[in-house]
A and B are shown apart, each in its own frame.
Chain A
C-alpha cells in the first residue's frame, strides 16, 4: 500500500535532506574550482566566463535556493528541538520555505 505522507513537517524534512545532499555534491566541485585561484588563475578566469551563460545563471539560482532552504530548514529544526514550542511548528516550516524563496529569488532578480 502506498503510504501517504504529504504533511508540511514531512515535506520540510524531505526538502532539508535533499538540499543537504545537493550541497554535499556541490561543495567538492566548488572547492576544486576555487583551488584554481591558487594554482592557475587563467584557468579560473576561463571557467568564470561560463557564469555568464543563462543556464549557469539558472543553476546558480538553484544553488542559492538549496543553500537558503537548507539554512532556514536547519534554523527551523534547531528551534523545534531546542525551544519548547508546540503548535506553531507548521507555521515555522512554511516560513522557512518562504524565506528561502525570498532570498533566492532576490538573488535571481539581481543576477539577470
Chain B
C-alpha cells in the first residue's frame, strides 16, 4: 500500500440545537493509527469544539463506538487502514440514538431498554445464605455464558434496522441480557423476564436480519439469544416449560 501523507476525514457535526452537517478535515496519516486517534487528532489540533466520547482506548469500556463509513464500530479498536475508502473515512455518531453533540450519542434510551427488558438479577437467596453452586458445564449455563461478555457499547443497537423502524423495540443488547438471565440458575423470576420480552417491542419484533451478530465487536450472537427468547415465550404460551 502506498504511503499516504494525509487522510480526508469527514465528521458529522451538530446536535439538538443545530442540524447535523458534515465537516471535512485533512489529518496526517501514520502507519499505525486507529479511528479514535484520528478523531482525537482533529479535536486536539484542528477544532477543540469537536465533541466525542472515549475512556479506556483498549476495547474494554465500550464508550467510543461511532459509525465509521456506515458501520458501527469501536473506534479505539478500528485500524484506519482496515476501513479506508480510497483515502477517506466518514465518522458519525451511533445510529438509532439521539445525538448530544457531534459524535457523542445519548445512551439513555439504550440503557432504559435494558431495564424495560427486565435485565436485572432476581435473587434466589439472601446474603445470609450459602452461595449456591453453579455447574459451568450445564446446558443453560453455557447458553447464559455465551452472552455475558457484552459491554453495553450499543454497536448492535445501532446496527439494527428493526430498532430504526420501531422505536419501541428493545434491541439486541437488552434482549440478549434478558436471555442470559433467563438461563441463569440463580435467577428467581424467569416469568417476569418472559413477560418483559414478549410484549410490544419485545423479542417477537425481531426480523432476524442478523446485523447485531454480524457487527458485534465482541463476537457475541444476540440473534441466537433473541431466537432463544422467541422459543421460550412460545413454549410458555403453549403451556410447556423450557
A7 and B211 form a contact (CB under 8 A): yes
B208 adjacent to A3 (CB under 8 Å): no
A3 and B70 in contact, given A81-B230, A82-B231, A89-B223 (Cβ under 8 angstroms)? yes
Contact A77 B208, CB 8 Å, known A4-B71, A9-B214, A84-B231: yes
On chain A, the residues within 8 Å of B207 by CB distance are 13
Residue total for A at the interface (Cβ-Cβ under 8 A): 18
| CB of B51 closer than 8 Å to a CB of A | no
Counting contact residues on chain B (CB < 8 A from A), the size range is 20 to 34
- Output the least CB separation between B228 and chain A (Å): 7
Contact B231 A81 (CB under 8 A): yes
* Least Cβ–Cβ distance between A69 and chain B, in angstroms: 16
Tell yes or no: B213 within 8 A of A by CB.
yes
Interface: B194 (CB within 8 A): no
Check A42 for interface membership: any CB of B closer than 8 A: no
B61 at the interface (CB under 8 A from A): no
B23-39 residues at the A interface, CB under 8 angstroms: none
Contact with A along B201-242 (1 / 0, CB 8 A): 000000111110110000001011001101100000000000
Q: Which residues of chain B are within 8 angstroms of A7 by Cβ–Cβ distance?
A: 210-211, 214
Pairs of residues from A and B, 9 with the lowest C-beta to C-beta distance, nearest first: A9-B210, A4-B70, A7-B214, A13-B209, A1-B92, A81-B227, A4-B71, A3-B70, A86-B224
Give chain B's interface residues, CB within 8 Å of chain A: 12, 67, 69-71, 90, 92, 95, 161, 207-211, 213-214, 221, 223-224, 227-228, 230-231
Additional A-B contacts beyond A3-B95, A7-B211 (17; CB < 8 A): A3-B67, A3-B70, A4-B71, A5-B209, A9-B208, A10-B214, A13-B208, A13-B209, A13-B210, A77-B208, A80-B223, A80-B227, A81-B230, A84-B231, A86-B221, A86-B224, A89-B210
